[in-house]
Amino acid sequence: MFYEILLILHILLFVYWLGGDLGVFYSSNFVINPKLSNETRLTSAKIMLDLDLIPRICMTLMLTVGGLLAHELNFEHPTILYIGIILLAPFWLGMVLTIHFKEGQPLAKQLSKIDYYFRCFMVVAILVSAGIAVVQDRLAGAPWLVAKLVIFSFLIFCGIMIRRHLPAFVEGLHKMSKGETMTDEDNAKMKQGLSDARPWVWAIWAGVFIEAVIGIVKPGNTRILNEVAALF
């Protein structure tokens, strides 16, 4: 039963991650539309940012759920790593939720910096962990699992790159929220910042889709093939 619950949760995380991102992408078009009033654009921005919380939550939970699923499939983790995988979800989720609901406050600003460097750390940590698992033969017969770990680290990297391209977009939002008049230059900067970030958004969509396909097909999974063969 525990495995089935994890599997359902894993699928839902993929669905809401991609679905939430699509909503963010669509609503962002209204935020950068200079033909709309500042009030309308700010309302669209609020919708966009609230929707963006959904894929961010999904990312924080995905690695823990995936790690527990792998453990249930007998790809066991060392005790310290297993504990770390379990603690990762509440730690990362708590940080993301605090940043969102305490926006503009000193705590949120400090946590945003910590979150940025934590994501950089996670990109490297996942790749190193996957490499060690391969060397130690803990993922023998499961190249699909290694691929999913590598792709997930790439998804985190894409998120980091999106954040690096959005300062001009955020500055425009702050200017509108103060009731100041948006100039053509301001609007152009907002649009350019969003345009620069969008290729990384598309890369996330592609990565999430590929992750889902790999998780279903499990290419090269000799362990499962051997277990099926043993039944006959």
Could you give the CA distance from residue 55 to residue 71 in angstroms, rounded to a whole number?
24
What the block records as the tokens of 15 is: 């669905």
Q: State the pTM of this model.
A: 0.89
For the chain, helix (H) and strand (E) counts, in that order, are 8, 0
Q: Which amino acid is at 111?
A: L
Could you give the CA distance from residue 82 to residue 199 in angstroms, rounded to a whole number?
34
96-119 pLDDT tens trace:
999 999 988 999 999 999 999 999
6-16 pLDDT tens trace:
999 999 999 99
**Secondary structure of 47-69 in the HEC alphabet?**
HHHHHHHHHHHHHHHHHHHHHHH
Domain ranges of the chain: 2-229
Could you give the CA distance from residue 79 to residue 100 in angstroms, rounded to a whole number?
32
**Would the pLDDT of 229 be above 50?**
no
Q: Decide if 127 contacts 153 (C-beta within 8 A).
A: yes
Give every CB contact of residue 75 below 8 A, 6+ residues apart in sequence: 138, 139, 142, 145
